Each structure stands twice: as structure tokens, then as C-alpha cells.
Chains A and B, each alone.
Chain A
Amino acid sequence: DAKTTQPNSMESNEEEPVHLPCNHSTISGTDYIHWYRQLPSQGPEYVIHGLTSNVNNRMASLAIAEDRKSSTLILHRATLRDAAVYYCILKTGGTSYGKLTFGQGTILTVHP
């Protein structure tokens, strides 16, 4: 599985935007970029995913570099509930059994 690199931790203030980076220099053409987050004492939850184009949903935006070797998860206005571990994962498309390979993730701390 292609590998991703994320900072171990990041901090933000409440109501400010947060940009969480992810490097994936060995990404292949069929790899989708998925983001999950894990709140304390809960299972991971899906945030967003994309292939080539930037994506927006109600939770976040995903900005994908033109060469696809990096991406950034954007939380437009961080809240205390956004404090979690954020995982950037490459998931191979083209199959019906895609699995997630989690790394260490980025611990996001949000200050009031």
C-alpha cells in the first residue's frame, strides 16, 4: 500500500480555519485519498475523499495538489468537537474490496 506522511500534531484556536497536510508522493493513478477522524473513545468516522479534483462536503474541504503527491484537509471553522486524530489514507480504487491502511495520523488540538 502507498504510504502517507502527516505531522504528528497540530493546534488551532476555536472558530479559526485549520489546514491539515498530507504527503503521498508514491500515490498511484487509481488511489483515492480518504480522510477519517477519530474522536476520543470512538471508532473512526469518514470525513471526505477525492481522486483528482478538490472536494467539499458539510464537514470539510479537500484540496488535492495538481500532481496528486500531497493534499490538505481544510476545516473552515474549527470547533472544540473537531479535536480528534485525523488520518489521511490512500485507498486503491478499481477493486470492490478496498481496504484502509491507517498510519499514525495527526492529533488536532483545538483551543477555546
Chain B
Amino acid sequence: EAGVAQSPRYKIIEKRQSVAFWCNPISGHATLYWYQQILGQGPKLLIQFQNNGVVDDSQLPKDRFSAERLKGVDSTLKIQPAKLEDSAVYLCASTTGWSTDTQYFGPGTRLTVL
């Protein structure tokens, strides 16, 4: 079974530029998550989708971050404009959606903002 795919794996941008990350979850997984992991910390949930609807985006900085999940499959996370403090690994995860189900994580995208 193919895992969660993410691209790009690495990205370096200047502050105030924009950037987008892509995630392809495991086939058939209804729930998709985006996490931000700053160096030395645990991942922090940014947004959670159930199919193509948003379940939780309470920790998403909506003035600069946006995310969409068209057709309930792939998802894109965008940052515009980027700040230095956005330097982090952005992780995508998916699950079938049941409360006790495990989450499967992708390898992440490491973003460096200069």
C-alpha cells in the first residue's frame, strides 16, 4: 500500500514570498491533517479535513495560511506571505476517520525562510 506522499521535500524561500505544499493521502482515507513542526517541538495541528470539508482550523494563522482539499483527495497548504518564524517541517497525515484509527504521516516538507 502506498503511503502519504508530499512534495516538495525541501523548499527555501525569502521572507514575504509565497509557497505551496502538496499532499496526496492514502487512497480511501477520508480525513487529512496538516501539521507544523518547529525544530525541537512536537507537531502542531494546523488544519483537519473530513473529505473536502474543514473540521478544525482553529490553529491555522488565517491571515497568511490557507489550505484546500479539492474533491476530497489531494490537499494543498499555502503560505502567503512567509515570515521567518514559518521555518519548520510541514507534515501531512491521513486516516480513515474513525476515532481510534491511526494516523499515517508523510515524510514532510522542510521549509526554510531566509
Chain A interface (Cβ < 8 Å from any Cβ of B): 32, 34, 36, 41-46, 49, 85, 87, 91-105
B97: CB under 8 A from chain A?
Answer: yes
Given A45-B105, A46-B104, A96–B43 Cβ distance below 8 Å?
A: no
CB-defined A-B contacts under 8 Å, sample of 23: A32-B100, A42-B108, A43-B93, A43-B106, A43-B108, A44-B91, A44-B103, A46-B102, A46-B104, A49-B102, A91-B99, A91-B100, A95-B99, A97-B99, A99-B33, A99-B48, A100-B43, A100-B45, A101-B45, A102-B42, A103-B42, A104-B42, A105-B42
Give B41-75 as 1s and 0s: 1 = Cβ < 8 Å from A's Cβ atoms. Answer: 11111001010000110000000000000000000
Given contacts A43-B105, A45-B105, contact A97 B55 (CB under 8 A): yes
Across the interface, which residues of B come within 8 angstroms of A42, CB to CB?
105, 107-108
Chain B residues closer than 8 Å to A91, beta-carbon distance: 99-100
Smallest CB separation, A30 vs chain B (Å) = 9
B2-24 interface with A by 8 A CB criterion: 4
Are B99's CB and A104's CB within 8 A? no
> In angstroms, how far is the closest chain A Cβ from the Cβ of B40?
8
Query: Ordered nearest first, which 8 A-B pairs have the shortest CB separation?
Result: A43-B105, A102-B42, A46-B102, A98-B99, A93-B99, A102-B43, A97-B55, A44-B105
Give Cα distance in the complex from A95 to B95, angstroms. 14
